[in-house]
Structure 1
């Protein structure tokens, strides 16, 4: 059962973009405003975070005065994660769990460093690592010329364990942080146009060949029910299709209104073809905030900006803090 929380805070540690200057809605604090709040009075390059192709978010929920924290993905590589955590003064010591959204390098490349930094601040305690068993398969993408471009593997269960993670793998929906955060099971595909990651394949279990893997069934979304608002959904890449994700969220919690989505919508590359259907179908969910970023792509962001008001579209960027 998912318990309602009194508040939710999402701090973007890694994203494809930085944006110090754009105005934001009242519930979103930009990187520059965060620096000022922490007492920085002179701006310069030594203050700034960096962008990288990937996503990582620090999630903090509060209920009855008790705050609980987890990490959602780690971004693609160690430099960006360490630099941004340091420059944002992000406190990793209370992190109780890590959820990896799906098995792609741009969400897991800094995972071993993240574990090291968290345990260096929490006295060396073991950290729960929430995974899907299919995340650890080797993957590649078939190029137009027929050749395969292999992806870097995410850290193995053995490596994660050696770095202090307690790896728990499941295909079924469950909760984290004492019932305050929902982790979806595998996402049903109900639309006829969201077909995953075109051209992706994975190693067969015997390691001898490759098999189709466009659906990325290991991808999960994370949900938090904020009291008085509704369900906030984090969907790191939305390979399942963000409309499929939101249908699943609504089906999973029919009595809780959908309130916000945050993450990558993967409407770039081959998926640019489905931007019109996706944007049109998003209207049915009555979202108060669409915090799109990472792999969404500029064409989709433009379409979203044309379809939704400034008060709804609040693109993600490194250092932004969303308060619900």
Structure 2
């Protein structure tokens, strides 16, 4: 069990959407509002972040006046990560750890650049890299003709180490940042309709063939218990199913209310079929904030808006800052 923190700030560095103009709840700052707060008085294209298919978040927690920082995923590629970090003036120097949520390219494509940028600002110190041992396997998606569309691998342990990472792998739940942050273990699958990633396969251990990998057991969620508010859960893609994720989070922190969920809900593509069940089941968790984005999809976002309204649904976009 992790300890409470006094405050939590999540800044979205990479996401599928950019949205400077929509109004936001009081605890959410848009990209444009952030520019104004930092003193930008002339708006132009050179100020703007860019959207990309992926997710990356900078997480800052504070307890007893001590502030700690970590990176949650890196997005799909280097251009979007570097551009957005630079234009947001995001402070990477204090980052002590990186967690990769699962082994997909759209969350790890800029990881080596992220390590380089962090270490160029922290005096060259090594950075903890938190991973599940199975996320380094080569993966692919089954095509209608029976063939496979291979995915780009995430950086290897050797490459990460060469770039200054202290790689630590685990299948079990554990803490980061001296217990301010909780990393889940493998997520139990208790909801019948949440099937994972239909059609995904991975290379066999001998590298000669493919084997089913729809459950993506390497996926993990991140939890922070904010004093007086409850548990904030980051679930980057929710391949395990967001209802499974929240059941696991509630079981992991008995008696702690669930405050918010942030990340992709992966209710697009084949998973559009389970949008009604998912939205209905989300109501049982009493969430104050649903910060859905990335792979959630517009159909699911519409259903969430209709079910929860804009007092609860606060979609992610690049540059947004959530404060709890």
- Coarse TM-score class (shorter-chain normalised): over 0.9
Residue of structure 2 in register with 1:39 after alignment: 39
Q: What does residue range 72-83 of structure 1 map to in structure 2 within 5 Å?
A: 72-83=72-83
2:257 and 2:87 map into 1 onto residues whose CA distance is 35
TM-score relative to the length of structure 2: 1.00
Aligned ranges for residues 1-324 of structure 1 at < 5 Å? 1-324=1-324
> After TM superposition, what 4+ stretches of structure 1 lie above 6 angstroms from structure 2?
none
- Aligned-partner Cα distance in 1 for 2:167–2:311: 39
How big is the shift at 1:98? 0.1
C-alpha separation between the residues in 2 aligned to 1:112 and 1:60? 21
State the alpha-carbon separation in 1 of the partners of residues 54 and 203 from structure 2: 23
| Counterpart-to-counterpart distance in 2, 1:59 and 1:186 | 22
Residue 134 of structure 1 deviates from its aligned partner by 0.1
Q: CA deviation at 1:309?
A: 1.8
- Paired residue secondary structure (1:130): strand
The unaligned stretches of length 5 or more in structure 1 are: none
C-alpha distance after superposition, 1:175-230 (max 9, x if no partner): 00000000000000000100000000000000010000000000000000000000
CA distance in 1, matches of 2:260, 2:144: 36
- Give the Cα–Cα distance (whole angstroms) in 1 for the partners of residues 175 and 200 of structure 2: 29
Supply the distance in 1 between the matched residues of 2:95 and 2:171 (Cα, whole angstroms): 23
The CA deviation string for residues 240-290 of structure 1, in whole angstroms up to 9 with x for no partner, is 000000000000001111000000000000000000000000000000000
Aligned-CA RMSD value: 0.3
Q: Give, in angstroms, the shift of residue 144 of structure 1.
A: 1.1
CA distance in structure 2 between the aligned counterparts of 1:209 and 1:309, rounded to whole angstroms: 47
2:319 match: secondary structure: coil
Partners of 1:5 and 1:98 in 2: how far apart? 19
Give the secondary structure class of the aligned counterpart of 1:9.
strand
| Cα distance in structure 2, aligned partners of 1:143 and 1:241 | 22
Structure 2: tracts of 5 or more residues without a match: none
Cα deviation, residue 107, structure 1: 0.1
Deviation at 1:19, TM superposition (A): 0.1
Give me the whole-angstrom Cα distance separating, in 1, the residues matched to 2:25 and 2:201.
Answer: 40
- So what's the TM-score if we normalise by structure 1? 1.00
